[in-house]
Amino acid sequence: MNTLLVVDLLGTRSRWQAGGSAAADRAFAAFAQLVADTARNLDTAAELIGDIEADFAAVICPTTESALALGRRIFRRAFLEPRDDLDPRQWLRGAICDGGDDAAVRMRVAMAELPGLRRMQFSPSVMDALAVVRSGFRGMRLLVADAVLNDQLRGMFRIPLGRLGVIPFRRLKHTPYPRGLADDYQDLLWMADTPPEWRQYAMKMKQRVLWSALDLGELEQAAATQVVFHECDSILQSVARKNELQQRSDGGADGYADDDGD
């Protein structure tokens, strides 16, 4: 089924204010390159339909698997790319939901008796996704509609930790969700990974908090993202402890761990 991925670039207002149109244009170009370059590496790249405009991207993917993979890769690449405090940093938020039968993310509607004026109208699925990303949640988070997930996808994205594993789709306990957002979305923990890779993400998170200290707007996003990282770390460590106990007892079969990390 068609699945829609929507990604917003955060912090563009401050770029306009600090550097004018030139700074905003550089940010938009880097964002477009991030999305396009990442999408090119998908097996389903030729089947993608969508628009990238300024600080917003909407991509209709042919399968939920491809939408989840593309979203996770975009977030990971954007997060890891900066090498020092002088490199531009991209903070993103996104949503993945049912793409419906839409063949495009928006359409042009002619205005009656005004042939030179047209209204740009988003498709219903994009409007639903926009309601999520504009609902006010903080941090570099990618929310996924429960309706597009199933056990097969959970197994495909499962992160192995010894004999156990972590499913990176979670309704988090300590990370707030907007009141206006229905309880049918959960986080894709795009940073969750096996221990060597996870340490890389955790170190980068520390760096990003330090680098953002002089910009209150960016620091707010960094702090909200760090809460998600802490919750992810709790989940990973809890499953790692369970795996260690299981190895000591030398019993049990390979399986999924559904630990809350508390």
Q: Provide the total of helices (H) and of strands (E) in the chain, helices listed first.
A: 6, 11
CB 9 within 8 A of CB 136: no
Q: Kindly state the tokens that stand for 224.
A: 């909200």
Q: What is the pLDDT of residue 259?
A: 54
DSSP letter at 100? T
Q: What is the pLDDT of residue 255?
A: 47
Q: Where are the alpha helices (DSSP H) in 56-167?
A: 64-80, 124-133, 151-156
Cβ atoms within 10 A of the Cβ of 232, count? 26
Cβ atoms within 10 A of the Cβ of 42, count? 18
- Tell me which H or E stretch contains 8: strand 3-9
Length of the chain equals 262
Q: Kindly state the tokens that stand for 72.
A: 């996770």
Ranges of the chain with pLDDT below 50:
252-257, 260, 262
Cβ atoms within 10 A of the Cβ of 12, count? 17
Q: What separation, in Å, do the N-terminal and C-terminal C-alpha atoms of the chain show?
A: 35
Beta strands (DSSP E) in the chain are 3-9, 49-53, 56-61, 92-98, 106-111, 114-122, 142-145, 159-161, 164-166, 169-170, 185-188
Centroid of chain to Cα 136:
15
| Cα separation, 24 vs 17, whole angstroms | 9
| Cα separation, 157 vs 68, whole angstroms | 9
CB 165 within 8 A of CB 119: no
Confidence (pTM) = 0.90
Q: What is the pLDDT of residue 256?
A: 47
The CATH number of domain 3-249, selected from 3.20.20.70, 3.30.70.1230, 3.40.190.10, 3.30.1370.60: 3.30.70.1230
Angle between helices 64-80 and 195-211 (to 10 degrees): 50
| Cα separation, 126 vs 97, whole angstroms | 9
Residue found by looking up tokens 């996924």 in the block = 144
